[in-house]
Amino acid sequence: MIEIDKPNPFRVLELSADATNQEIVERGQELIDLAETEAQRRQYRWAMEQLITKPLTRLQYELYEFPDSEYKDDDWERFVRINKRNPINIHELAKEIPAPGIEDFDLSELIQLLIEGMLRIDRPDIQTALQNSPFKPGVGPAPLEVKNVIFG
């Protein structure tokens, strides 16, 4: 019977659904030898057991497996291997370019931008405030306040 809370054993072992028992055992042993934790080893053993010792369960997993599934993306792994290192050395670029100084800035323009930013008043969005109000004005009684409850 398929265990719903566990992944497909073919996915765990990264094998296609038409893998032979010998391929399953070889791949399982390889993964068990490379496993870093005991939990991974148990999962690989479980996957091997599901596919080898239980033919009806294997058939169920085969039926639920997508046809021609591939669990390794060789193109992606090749791309990662080629581009693992950043081709640009930021520290070397920073050495070539001097740090900006006060002469690199137009102070009058900078002050103008700061003043405009401080004096700018955005238009209020009344529609958003009315539409997201916790109560609709004019519909039913207003919500109770503390003074209404305490003083009647």
Kindly report, residue by residue over 120-151, the tens digit of the pLDDT.
888 877 787 777 766 665 656 666 676 666 66
What is residue 99's three-state secondary structure? coil
Residue type, 68: D
CA-closest candidate to residue 28, choices 5, 12, 39? 12
pTM of the model: 0.45
Q: Token pair of 131, please?
A: 């539409």
Architecture in CATH of 1-88: Orthogonal Bundle (1.10)
What are the sequence ranges of the domains in the chain?
1-88
pLDDT value at residue 152: 52
Count of CB atoms situated within 10 Å of the CB of 87 = 5
Q: What percent of the chain has pLDDT over 90?
A: 11
Rg (alpha carbons) of the chain, rounded to whole number: 33
